[in-house]
Amino acid sequence: MSESLVLVSDADGIRRLTVHRPDKLNALNAATLDALQAAFTAAGEDPAVRVVVLTGAGPKAFVAGADIAEMADLRATEGRDFSLRGQRLMRTIETLPKPVIAMVNGFALGGGLELAMACHLRIAADTAKLGQPEINLGLIPGFGGSQRLLRLAGRAATLELCLLGAPITAERALQLGVVNRVVPAAELEDETRKVAAQLAASAPLALRATLDVVNVGGECGIEEGLQYETAQFGLMFSTDDMREGTRAFTERRKPAFTGR
């Protein structure tokens, strides 16, 4: 069952994960969170996977939120556990040792925006709508949205989205720094494929170190962050990829990175 909730396909080092509950606009129930947890863990561990693209099934939604029907009857401790389940998944994605692109093909609301924000890059269709509408249900974001939106877009945007609960357009999300790129819906696949292909051909250890220094640096003081950057920078000199990258530059050819 969990297989069909997340579709998995591979091409040229790019793993594509598709949240697959189109009749419920890909809402995240507990089983879907578990299926995503398993899929991301597997993608993180598979050396053949260089980059992950996450999207939603069907023409309307990336993910329209946590499953409201499933949440409706939860008690306090169950609500807390549901939040922890979601937060664990988001943290797994955020700390994956390879880049994850959210291809936002439609509604990214509540848990859907939280899921997109846990990814490293967000490319949105111009038709997408994004928001944290939990307030309209008497709730607040529970999968890390209040914290990641604050770090991505600041206090004013976070309070606007979370207090008012109204969805925003992809264009406004771009202005706020919530997404990286907005493209016409018909070009979303192509644009995402291009970015994913570039990352798949890039140096895996340097990509990993980049993700690491940004993750760590976002949560510590400047001195600690700089020291960590220096340590990771130094480590790169022990890699074949660094020799290959610098040599290819001087030899005026394209580098062939191996991840060693």
Q: Applying CB under 6 A, does 125 fall inside the site for ligand COA?
A: no
Q: Applying CB under 6 A, does 144 fall inside the site for ligand COA?
A: no
CB of 61 to ligand COA, least distance (A): 7
**8 Å CB contact between 197 and 14:** yes
Distances (CA, A) of 246 to 10, 92, 211, 214, 230: 30, 32, 21, 23, 19
- The single residue among 86, 133, 144, 204 that binds ligand COA, judged by CB under 6 A, is 133
Query: Which range touches ligand COA (CB under 6 A), out of 3-11, 76-84, 108-116, 227-235?
Result: 108-116
- The single residue among 43, 51, 66, 182 that binds ligand COA, judged by CB under 6 A, is 66
The residue among 15 and 24 lying less far from ligand COA, judged by its C-beta, is 24
The residue among 67 and 241 lying less far from ligand COA, judged by its C-beta, is 67
Cα gap 79→69, rounded to integer Å = 13
- Residue 17 C-alpha from the chain's centroid: 11
Radius of gyration of the CA atoms of the chain, in A: 19
Provide DSSP, 129-147: EEE-GGGGGT----SSHHH
- The single residue among 5, 43, 52, 64 that binds ligand COA, judged by CB under 6 A, is 64
Q: Is the dihedral of CA 88, 91, 95, 99 positive or negative?
A: positive
CB of 227 to ligand COA, least distance (A): 39
134 is catalytic: yes
The residue among 98 and 148 lying less far from ligand COA, judged by its C-beta, is 148
Q: Applying CB under 6 A, does 86 fall inside the site for ligand COA?
A: no
**8 Å CB contact between 121 and 146:** no
**8 Å CB contact between 181 and 174:** yes
The residue among 1 and 222 lying less far from ligand COA, judged by its C-beta, is 1
Binding site for ligand COA (CB under 6 A): 24-25, 27, 64-69, 107, 109-111, 133-134, 137
